[in-house]
Amino acid sequence: YFYSFISKASDEQKGTLSVTRLQLHPDPNMDTDNRLGKLEPESPQSPGAESQMSFNVYDAKISGRDSFLGALPSSASTIGFWSDHHSKGKMDNFTVRAYSKRIRQLTLFLAVFIIVSMVMTALFVWRMSYFKLEDKTDEKRHLEQKPIVAPRSACPVRAEAVPLEPLPISIEEALIEIERALKEVNTKDDTIAIMANVVYMDKVIWERSYGKMNRSNPSAPNLSSKTVFPVASVTKVFTALMLYKLYYEKKVKSLDDPFKKYMPKFSIKDPFNSHEIVLREMVSHMSGIPREAPCLKEMKENLCPDNNTVMLDRIKNLTLVAEPGNKVSYSNLGFGLLGQGLALSQNVSYEEWMQKSVFDPLGMHDSGFKLTPKLRQRIPVGFLGKDSLQPFEWGWANPAGGMFTSLEDLAKLEITLFNSTEEDDFLSPVLTEEFFSPAFILDGKQFIGSPWEMFLMNGYIARMKNGFVYGYSSNIFLFPELKLAFNIFNTGSCKGCCFPSVKRLLIAFHEELTARDVKQQKTIQQQEAAPYLGEFFTDDVPTIRRVIIRYNEGKMTFAVDNHVFRLNHIKGTTFELIDRRKVDCLIIALMGINHERVHFDPPGSSPDGVSTGFTVFGFHLRGKAYFRRKQL
């Protein structure tokens, strides 16, 4: 047999799709009778007749018959051929089954495709609808929250310390709660002996103690205000105070002086090739000096018995753990060096300087560094778990944690700092403020000072110093703005004793003092206020044209556009602006008119007995602006 092609295209050379019919003809050189006869002599298909089966072949962009033939798959030579033993009916049934199978497969594929498409479409529609609804909900929520943004970010009123005699009931109740909590701790675990006090302004207003000097001895005396504790790292407050005191006395030229200026033989390996370590970095734990001193040969009653020469020889072999000034790295060694170096510069020992410059002037007669037999009798037995422990001296490391003191002595220092308001006080007001200021921000809510650990509490910065040495803990919390301090010493482990008590105390004082601040805001009778009420205009300030002063229930207000301020009477014709708007503190600070004085013209200068105008000095760049009364 041979192939013949009957083209339905007019031009085979076109590069377009052509349809060709494939027909079969007998090959004259082939013995078809013999070969086909062997297979199926009764084949109904007659040689030489036109094939009953034909199909279309699509030739895309192939020119010439040979090219087309070459393009056929190898199986194409069998297409249209069936063995003679197959009857025409069998062939048709086979073909029908094959096509039926393909149709079923195609139908199944189409069904799956349609289902998947419908699911994807549904998911897309849902997603678009969901996020559109969520956006609307967020927008609605945002709009709903807008009215309450300002009150939530309103600048809080900071109370000022005022005498509280007798103590208000709210503060008494807070102290009773603190007392109950501390007593409960001691009752549950008698290894925890506790003593605490509260300092306010210039006195101790509350003091309590629970437990005995020695729990193993039933006849041992109870703790008292004269009981002495090893306060460990609370000593660092005194070492920092030493630096600020010497700076105040101009014996230290600058807080940024290199430390080596005061201890010339100091050296330490510096892999960072950084600048020289300065005093400010040492007092705020930013020197990069390793944490602990290389005391090495600890004795039973003295932690670090060596002198400067021995210690400096060991320290020169140490290496900085952080680049100075780059980050906080707590260091007992750093404070040991600071105290010893400053004392060396004054040609005295650290202990002598502290006695002469702090303990004696402030009347701190229970404080010291030497464990005399008399002092030891005033120190309670410490506990680490159930094991009893005795205190020890710190020797060369005294500036880092070797002080012994009482709550009574500690209160004397706090009262002195709270009342350093004059230039000739223990510290000047400016240095006292710097002493209590943050030196490094840790995370926005916690700070490191000199040497305070600081954190935000109810809108105030708490200055805390914690001290721990085996068997004993000490914690002090100061709020200089309120002239308030809470101190607590204890043996054993008193977890949770401090923070709840401090917070409760702070809230009570804050609420009481702010309430008194509101109550103490001056009121004025309407008859007294009348000469100053009305509308006032100015041409001096380009951004302000009119001010309206009103009276309402004993108070005067000063309105500029949409801003309303309190107007308090000071004396005579002088008044004061008070900014109590519910806005961010930064806005109030930048406007800078809180407590601005308003000076009215005397009412008697006009026929109708009213003030004709007023002068302010903070409304214009030139330092003066005059507002005249609107003429009726």
pLDDT value for 74: 41
Sole residue written with tokens 């005295």: 348
Other Cβ atoms closer than 10 A to 172 = 13
> How do 387-389 and 404-406 pair as beta strands?
unpaired
Place 58 in a pLDDT band, splitting at 50, 70 and 90: very low
pLDDT value for 132: 57
What is the tens place of the pLDDT at every residue in 349-363? Answer: 999 999 999 999 999
pLDDT value for 96: 62
Amino acid at 388: S
Query: Domain segments of the chain: what residues?
Result: 169-516, 526-629
Q: How far apart, in whole angstroms, are the C-alpha atoms of residue 348 and residue 340?
A: 9
CATH number 2.40.128.50 given to 526-629: yes
Counting Cα atoms < 13 Å in the Cβ hemisphere of 438 gives 16
Can you point out the beta strands (E) in 26-88?
A: 56-59
Length of the chain: 632
DSSP 163: -
Place 54 in a pLDDT band, splitting at 50, 70 and 90: very low
Q: How far apart, in whole angstroms, are the C-alpha atoms of residue 320 and residue 388?
A: 36
Q: What are phi and psi of 479, to 5 degrees?
A: -125, 85
Other Cβ atoms closer than 10 A to 177 = 15
Taking phi over 0 as left and psi of -120 to 50 as alpha, with beta for the rest, 194 belongs to: beta
pTM, rounded to two decimals: 0.71
DSSP 617: S
What is the tens place of the pLDDT at every residue in 459-494? Answer: 899 999 999 999 999 999 999 999 999 999 999 998
Class at the top of the CATH hierarchy for domain 169-516: alpha beta
pLDDT value for 104: 80
Calculate what percentage of the chain has a pLDDT beyond 90. 62
Q: With beta carbons less than 8 A apart as the criterion, state whether 569 and 590 touch.
A: no
Please give the C-alpha separations between residue 446 and each of 44, 155, 463, 464, in angstroms, as whole numbers. Answer: 102, 20, 10, 11
Q: How far apart, in whole angstroms, are the C-alpha atoms of residue 300 and residue 305?
A: 10
Q: Which two tokens stand for residue 48?
A: 């030489």
Closest by CA to 90, choosing from 33, 21, 44, 38, is 44
Answer yes or no: is pLDDT of 425 > 50: yes
What is the tens place of the pLDDT at every residue in 527-561? Answer: 999 999 999 999 999 999 999 999 998 999 999 98
pLDDT value for 13: 44
